[in-house]
Amino acid sequence: MKKNIILLLLATCAFITGIQATPTKITVRVKSKDAKFIGTGIGGAYVTITNTINGEILAQGLTTGASGNTTLLLETPLRRYQRLTDDKTACFEASIDIKDPLFVEVQVTAPVSRKNAAIRGSVQCWLIPGKDINGDGLIIELPGFVLDIIKPTTLQQVKQTDLVKNTLEFKASLTMLCGCTITKGGTWDADSIEVAAYIKKEEVLLKNVPLQLTDQANIFAGSFTAEEKGNYQITVYAYDPRTGNTGVDKINFVIQ
C-alpha cells in the first residue's frame, strides 16, 4: 500500500514538472486619436510587453503595416464586435510561452521615429496559456499631433538686412500621429485646428501669432516683425478643441 502511494506521488510530480509552456499569441495595435493606426508609413510604434512581477521583457518590436480604412474608422457607425482592422492593418504580433496565467504590461511609444512628438501609453492585461488575443487585438489609443517647425531652422543665423521690412516668416508641418494629412475641408480639417506661436526675445514674450494653412497640405505659416537683433525663440502649438489633441515644437534662432 505504501509502495503504491509512493509511486502515485512520483507519477504526480512527474506530471506536474512535465507540464510544457504553451505558446500564446498577442496582437497589439496603436491608434492615433481621431485618426488611424500607426504603422510603417510614419515609422511605427514601439511595443514592449513586460512581466509585471519581475520586470522581464517578454517581447518587443515595431508595429508594421498600413494605417487602415479611413471610411470604416471615421465615417461608418460601428456595431458591437465589428472588426476595425484587416490583415494589412499595422500591428505588432508576439508569441509568448507561458505555463500559467500571467499579468503583463503592454507599453507603446509612437511615432517612434518622431522623438519630439512621440507619446507613450500603456495598459495591463492577463495572458492565459493558449488563449490568443488576436483579430483587432489589443488596441491602445494615443492623443496628439506630429508638429515640426521647418522654418527657420534650429540656431539659424538670420541677417536682419535680409528681411523685408523686418518681417520674418516661419513655417511648421502638422500631421496626425499616424501621419494622416491635414487640409482645408478634408477629413482632418485645418480650419478646426488652432495653430499659433509664442514669440520670445531674450526669454521675454513679445506676442502670440496665429498660423494659417498654406496652399500645401500640412504646412502652416505665420510671420512677425523683428525690429531688434538678438536671441529669439518660437514655440508653435496645435490644439483641436473637439478632441483635445495637442502638439508642440520649439526652436531657438538668432537675428544678426
What would the pLDDT profile of 97-148 be if each residue is shown by its tens digit? Answer: 999 999 999 999 999 998 889 999 999 999 999 999 999 999 999 999 999 9
**DSSP type of residue 3:** H
Per cent of the chain over pLDDT 70 is: 93
Q: What is the mean pLDDT of the chain?
A: 93
- Sheet strands (E) in the chain: 22-32, 46-51, 57-62, 92-98, 102-110, 119-127, 133-142, 145-151, 157-158, 167-176, 194-201, 204-210, 212-213, 219-225, 230-239, 246-255
The answer to whether 226 and 124 have CB atoms below 8 angstroms apart is no
Cα-Cα-Cα-Cα dihedral sign, residues 83, 89, 91, 94: positive
Over residues 138-172, the pLDDT tens digits come to 999 999 999 999 999 999 999 988 888 999 999 99
Euclidean distance between the first and the last CA atom of the chain, given in angstroms as a whole number: 99
- Average pLDDT, stretch 177-199? 97
Quote the pLDDT of residue 2: 55
CA distances from 145 to 121, 138, 148, 220 (A): 15, 22, 10, 14
Quote the pLDDT of residue 118: 94
The answer to whether 90 and 66 have CB atoms below 8 angstroms apart is yes
pTM of the model: 0.88
Quote the pLDDT of residue 212: 98
Return the ∠ at Cα 51 (arms to 45 and 57), rounded to 5°: 55
CA distances from 211 to 189, 198, 203, 231, 235 (A): 14, 11, 21, 21, 12
Per cent of the chain over pLDDT 90 is: 86
Quote the pLDDT of residue 12: 47
Quote the pLDDT of residue 4: 57
- Average pLDDT, stretch 195-212? 96
Over residues 2-43, the pLDDT tens digits come to 555 554 444 444 444 446 899 999 999 999 999 999 999 999
The answer to whether 231 and 254 have CB atoms below 8 angstroms apart is yes
Residues 6 or more apart in contact with residue 181 via CB below 8 angstroms: 175, 188, 217, 218
- Average pLDDT, stretch 65-90? 96
Q: Which residue has the higher pLDDT, 254 or 163?
A: 254
Domains and CATH numbers, the chain: 21-142 (2.60.40), 145-255 (2.60.40.10)
Quote the pLDDT of residue 9: 47
